[in-house]
Structure 1
Amino acid sequence: MSASLPGNRELPESQYDLNTYWGRVRQTTTITDPRTLFTGQHGLEQAKQLLVAYKKGDIKDMTPELWKAKKIVDSTLHPDTGEPVLLPFRMSCFALSNLVVTAGMLTPGLGTTGTILWQIANQSLNVAINYANANKSTPLSTAKIAQSYSLAVGASCSVAVGLNALVPRLKRFSPSARLVLGRLVPFVAVASAGALNVFLMRGEEMRTGIDVFPVRSQSPGGDEGESAQSLGKSRQAATLAVAETAVSRVLNSSPIMVVPPLLLVRLQRTAWLRANPRYVLPVNLGLILGMSFLALPFALAAFPQRQRVRADRLEEEFHGRGGDEGMVVFNRGI
C-alpha cells in the first residue's frame, strides 16, 4: 500500500480507530468500495503523487483529497509489494468476481460434469484471490504455486461436490425441508471449501514463516512504523494470519449462504414469482450480490489486516524484541 511510496514521513494508516471493530469495518468499507475499480492508471498515479507529497513534507496535513487518494492506493496496491493487485482479484471486486461463478453454479440442469467444472472455476478464483492478497514476504516458486493450486482446487472441489451429493439422499426429510436444505448445502460446501482453500494455498507461509516488525506507536490510527526493519520470519505469526483469514472467509460466506436462499424460498411462494419463474435466477443473484456487498466489510474487519501480537507469544527468538509494550506487527493478508 502507501508504505511502499518514497518519503520519510509516515502516513496514518486510517482515519478511523483500527483498535475497534467498528473502526475496522469503516476502514474495510473504503478498501472494498467497487467505485475504486474505475480509477485508471492516471488516477492511481495522481493519488500516489499526492501521498508522496505528504510523506516528503510538502503537504502538512491530511485532507479529504489525501484520504481519497489513500483509499485508491490502499484498495489497489498490495501492502507488501507496492504493486497493483490484478483487478478481478482485488477485494473491491470480490463480490462481482464471485457473482460470475455463482451464476454458473446456480445454472439449472448442470449435471455432474457441469457442477464439477463450475466448482473448479469457483475454487480457482478463490486460489487467485487468496494468492493475490496473501502476505508476500515468503515468495513462492512457480512449482510451489502449481502444487498449492492443485491441492487447493482438488481438495476444495472434493468437499464441495461431496456435500452437494448429500442432498438427494435426504429422503427422510419432508419436501419443504429438502428444498431448504437443497438451497443451503451448496453454500455450506462453498464456505467450508473456501476455508480449506486458504489453508492449502497459503500453507507455505506456515511452513517458512512471514516477516514481523516491531510496533513503534500505539496511536489510534494504527501508525506503526511501516518502514521498520523486519525482526525475521515467524511461523507462529503465519499460522495465526492464515487461520484468521480462513475464519474471515467463513464469516463472509455464512450470511451469503443462509440469507439469500431462505429469502428466495419465501419469494418463490409469492404470486409474482410463481407467475414469472424465469425471474427466479436473476432475483437469486440480486439477493446474493446485495448480501455480498453488505457482508464483506464486516467479515474482513473481524481481524486487523496489520495484526499486532506480543513478541513473547511468538517463537523464542522474538522474545524481548518487540517495540512499544513488547508488541510486533505483521500483515496477515486479507
Structure 2
Amino acid sequence: MKINIDEPQYDQNTFYGRFLHFLHITDPRLVVKTEKELMNAKELLDKYRDGREPIGTTKEELLSAKYIYESAFHPDTGEKQNIFGRMSFQVPGGMVLTGAMLSFYRSNSAVIFWQWLNQSFNALVNYTNRNANSPLTTTQMGIAYLTATSTALGSALGLKKYLSTRASPFFQRFVPFVAVAAANCANIPLMRQTELTSGIAVFDEEGNRATHSKVAAVKGISEVGLSRIAMAAPGMILLPFLMEAIEKRKLMKNPNIIVVFQTFAVGAILCFMTPTACALFNQKCSISSKTLQKCEQESYKELQLKYGEKIPKLLYFNKGL
C-alpha cells in the first residue's frame, strides 16, 4: 500500500496525534545522524515519490527516512537546517543551558553569560524554524538578536536585584524562568518580524497559494511563543522545588553533583516537554477566510479575484516551530 510521505502519519487534529508526530522528529538521537544518513533518507523519499524506490523497501524504512528527513530539513524550502537550530537538538541544547541558568543564578556575571548564551541559542532556533517564505535581512536579524538578549538580561538582572533584599533565596531560583519567558516574547516576534510586517503566504486545501496574511502571521507566532514558554516552564518551575528539598541531603552538599543532577533532570523533562509543547498547536495552522474579510480587505479581494464565489472557508500555512 502506498503511503503519503509528505503528510504526518498521525491525526494532526488531535493532541495525541500531534504528540506522536513530534515525538519522532524531535528525538534527540536524530542529531547524531551523519551527513550520509541524512542524504540517504532524502534520496529514498525522492525515489519513492517517483515510484523508483528499491525493490523490497518496507513501510518501516520509509517512515524512518521520513522522520530523519523532517528532523533536519526545513518544511518550506527543503534546505538542510543548522544542526544547533533543529528541534531534535532542543533536548541536549536546552538541557545544558537551562541546567546552567538554574545552577548559576547567584552572581551577575554568571547570569549575564548564561542568559546571553541561551538567547543566542533561541535566536538560532527561531530563525531556523521560521516560516521560510518570509526573508529576513541581516540588519533585522541583528536588531532582533540584540533586543531579545537585552530583554533577557534586563529581566534577569532587574529581578535579581529587586528580589535580593525582598525575597528568600528560594524565590530567587525562579528569576531565570521569568527572564526566559520575557525574552521569548521579544525574541520570536522580532526574529520573524518580516512575517508580521509583510504577511505570510496562505494556501487552500489543495496546497495552492491563495494570498498573503498578516493576521495569520500573528496567530502563528503567538502559538509558537506559547509553545516555547510551555516547553521551558516545567523544568524551570518544578526543579527549584525539587532542588530545595534534595539539597538538604548530605550527598547533595557537593555543588558539582548538584549541577550535574539538575542538568540531567532538565534533560529528562525536556524529552517529554519538547514534543508536548510542539503538539499544543497544529503546525499546519489554519485561518478562516471570514477573518480576512473582517481584518484584511486587500487579501480578501485577492481571494475574490482568484476563487470568485467559491472562496475556501479555511486557509492554511506553516506556523513554524
**Which range, TM-score by smaller chain?**
0.7 to 0.9
Q: Which amino acid aligns with 1:102?
A: T
Q: Judge which range, 244-253 or 277-286, deviates more.
A: 277-286
SS state at 1:80 partner: coil
Q: 1:289 aligned to 246, 250, 267, which one?
A: 267
Partner of 1:273: 252
Q: Which amino acid aligns with 2:315?
A: V
Q: Judge which range, 130-139 or 310-319, deviates more.
A: 310-319
- Rounded to whole Å, the distance in 2 between the matches of 1:133 and 1:109 is 29
TM alignment of 1:97-108, pairs within 5 A: 97-106=93-102, 108=104
Report whether the alignment pairs 1:254 with 2:233.
yes
The alpha carbon displacement at 1:170 in A equals 1.7
Judged with a 3 Å threshold, the aligned counterparts in structure 2 of structure 1 residues 296 and 108 are, in CA distance, closer, same or farther, namely closer
- Rounded to whole Å, the distance in 2 between the matches of 1:324 and 1:33 is 39
Identity %, equivalent residues:
32
Listed one character per residue, the Cα deviations across residues 117-171 of structure 1 (whole Å, up to 9, x for unaligned) are 3222211111111111111111012222222222222223222322232321225
* TM-score, normalised via structure 1 length: 0.85
Q: 1:180 aligned to 158, 161, 170, which one?
A: 170
Partner of 1:90: 86
The alpha carbon displacement at 1:102 in A equals 3.2
Query: Does the aligned pair in 2 maintain the 1:188–1:257 contact within 8 Å?
Result: no
Partner of 2:34: 40
SS state at 1:165 partner: helix
The alpha carbon displacement at 1:277 in A equals 4.5
Query: Does the aligned pair in 2 maintain the 1:37–1:93 contact within 8 Å?
Result: yes
Judged with a 3 Å threshold, the aligned counterparts in structure 2 of structure 1 residues 206 and 278 are, in CA distance, closer, same or farther, namely same
- Rounded to whole Å, the distance in 2 between the matches of 1:277 and 1:120 is 23
Q: 1:18 aligned to 12, 25, 43, which one?
A: 12
Q: Which amino acid aligns with 2:288?
A: R
The alpha carbon displacement at 1:13 in A equals 1.1
SS state at 1:330 partner: strand
Partner of 2:218: 239
- Rounded to whole Å, the distance in 1 between the matches of 2:81 and 2:6 is 22
Report whether the alignment pairs 1:190 with 2:169.
no
The alpha carbon displacement at 1:10 in A equals 5.8
Query: Does the aligned pair in 1 maintain the 2:155–2:178 contact within 8 Å?
Result: no
Q: Judge which range, 58-67 or 27-36, deviates more.
A: 58-67
- Rounded to whole Å, the distance in 2 between the matches of 1:162 and 1:200 is 22
Partner of 2:202: 212
The alpha carbon displacement at 1:106 in A equals 4.5
Q: Which runs of 4+ in 1 moved over 6 A?
A: 321-324
Partner of 1:55: 49
The alpha carbon displacement at 1:286 in A equals 1.5
Report whether the alignment pairs 1:30 with 2:33.
no
Runs of 5+ unmatched residues, structure 2: none
Q: Judge which range, 192-201 or 233-242, deviates more.
A: 192-201
The alpha carbon displacement at 1:292 in A equals 1.5
Partner of 2:72: 76
Query: Does the aligned pair in 2 maintain the 1:206–1:238 contact within 8 Å?
Result: yes
Q: Which amino acid aligns with 1:85?
A: Q
SS state at 2:51 partner: coil
Q: Which amino acid aligns with 2:313?
A: G
Judged with a 3 Å threshold, the aligned counterparts in structure 2 of structure 1 residues 296 and 115 are, in CA distance, closer, same or farther, namely same
Listed one character per residue, the Cα deviations across residues 177-229 of structure 1 (whole Å, up to 9, x for unaligned) are x233122222222223223211222222111111111113xxxxxxxxxxx33
The alpha carbon displacement at 1:285 in A equals 1.1
SS state at 1:304 partner: coil
- Rounded to whole Å, the distance in 2 between the matches of 1:165 and 1:300 is 34
SS state at 1:17 partner: coil
Q: CA RMSD in A?
A: 2.4
SS state at 1:231 partner: strand
The alpha carbon displacement at 1:287 in A equals 1.2
Partner of 1:308: 286
* TM-score, normalised via structure 2 length: 0.88
Judged with a 3 Å threshold, the aligned counterparts in structure 2 of structure 1 residues 255 and 103 are, in CA distance, closer, same or farther, namely closer
Report whether the alignment pairs 1:143 with 2:139.
yes
Listed one character per residue, the Cα deviations across residues 235-291 of structure 1 (whole Å, up to 9, x for unaligned) are 0110111111001011111111112221111111234324x4441111111111111
Query: Does the aligned pair in 1 maintain the 2:100–2:263 contact within 8 Å?
Result: no
- Rounded to whole Å, the distance in 1 between the matches of 2:91 and 2:83 is 12
The alpha carbon displacement at 1:84 in A equals 1.1
SS state at 1:166 partner: helix
- Rounded to whole Å, the distance in 1 between the matches of 2:243 and 2:93 is 22
Partner of 1:124: 120
Report whether the alignment pairs 1:330 with 2:309.
no
